[in-house]
Amino acid sequence: MKNFKNISSIVVNEELSWKDKIFLTFDIDWAHDDVLNDTIDLVEEANIAATWFVTHETPLLSRLRANSKFELGLHPNFNFLLEGDIRNGKNCHEVIDRMYAIVPEAVSARSHSMTQNSGILELFKSRGLTHEVNHFIPAQTHIELKPWLLWNNLVRVPYNWEDDVHCMYGLEKRLSSFIRFSGLKVFDFHPIHIFLNTENLDRYERTRPLHQKPDELIKHRYEGYGTRNRLLELLMMAKND
């Protein structure tokens, strides 16, 4: 369990704070409470550290906050704004500030769809964030990752595995094949893919009308090896740590 850490624990100049550690992160992405509870149950049973990037207000934030091994970050969605839709705010300031109203203790962020630019990074810094996790470098590139400081002293934490991207690449590899890589290891899961045990995005897309109906959605969970199995494989490592 000592090898599982939270994103905010990363110190660029202290290699022992990140090298060969495992950083388990979740983008909750407006998941139904039953779907989110399902993921929390799995992670709490493993009793490990995890960083949860929050998209919306839910009573389950109290449950996450009550676990001292968990930390909450921001997961702002700028996509509507880029399409001229101001439902989440009429500018980047408002989008971020609305998220801060939900998670005022946040010190880290990963944007929905990894949306970023220098202006957004400056806004993150101005709001007191210390870490951002918007740079994805696929594990199969075999590039050894490490964090670095941006010009404004934000710690950039690149990440190398994401459940939906794994499906898009059509990779059959088990998660254990990525653990042995040296360097920074940051994994990104989504509760909806864990609940569905997604093996390809066709399952996710065709069940969209049921994503807020967990009693129906559970009937569409994949019975083979999928995203849920990959998370359980990672959590099993904690028991053997």
Q: What mean pLDDT, rounded, does the chain reach?
A: 94
Mean pLDDT of 214-221: 98
Q: Is residue 19 part of a domain?
A: yes
- C-alpha 47/C-alpha 24 separation (Å) is 12
Judged by DSSP in three states, 185 sits in strand
Q: Is residue 119 part of a domain?
A: yes
Q: Is residue 136 part of a domain?
A: yes
* pLDDT digits 0-9 by tens, 72-104: 999 999 999 889 989 889 999 999 999 999 999
Q: Is residue 202 part of a domain?
A: no
Provide the residue type at 135 as one letter: H
* pLDDT digits 0-9 by tens, 27-70: 999 999 999 999 999 999 999 999 999 999 999 999 999 999 99
* pLDDT digits 0-9 by tens, 164-207: 999 998 877 677 777 777 889 999 999 999 999 999 999 999 99
How many domains is the chain built from? 1
Q: Is residue 197 part of a domain?
A: no
Domain of 19?
4-190
In this predicted structure, what is the pLDDT of residue 59? 98
| 127: pLDDT strictly greater than 60 | yes
In this predicted structure, what is the pLDDT of residue 2? 61
Judge contact between 89 and 99, C-beta under 8 A. Answer: no
In this predicted structure, what is the pLDDT of residue 241? 59
* pLDDT digits 0-9 by tens, 12-26: 999 999 998 999 999
- Give the tokens for residue 133: 């996790």
| 240: pLDDT strictly greater than 80 | no
Q: What is the largest CA-CA distance in the chain?
A: 49
CATH of the domain at 186: 3.20.20.370
Judge contact between 216 and 210, C-beta under 8 A. Answer: yes
Q: What is the pTM of this model?
A: 0.95
Phi-psi region of 29 (alpha: psi -120 to 50; beta: other; left: phi over 0): left
Q: Which of these, 9, 15, 20, lies nearest to 131 by C-alpha position?
A: 9
Q: Is residue 207 part of a domain?
A: no
Q: Is residue 229 part of a domain?
A: no
In this predicted structure, what is the pLDDT of residue 15? 95
DSSP letter assigned to residue 141: G
Judge contact between 12 and 34, C-beta under 8 A. Answer: no
- C-alpha 17/C-alpha 147 separation (Å) is 10
Judge contact between 186 and 133, C-beta under 8 A. Answer: yes
Q: Is residue 203 part of a domain?
A: no
In this predicted structure, what is the pLDDT of residue 116? 95
- C-alpha 97/C-alpha 158 separation (Å) is 24
Judged by DSSP in three states, 53 sits in strand
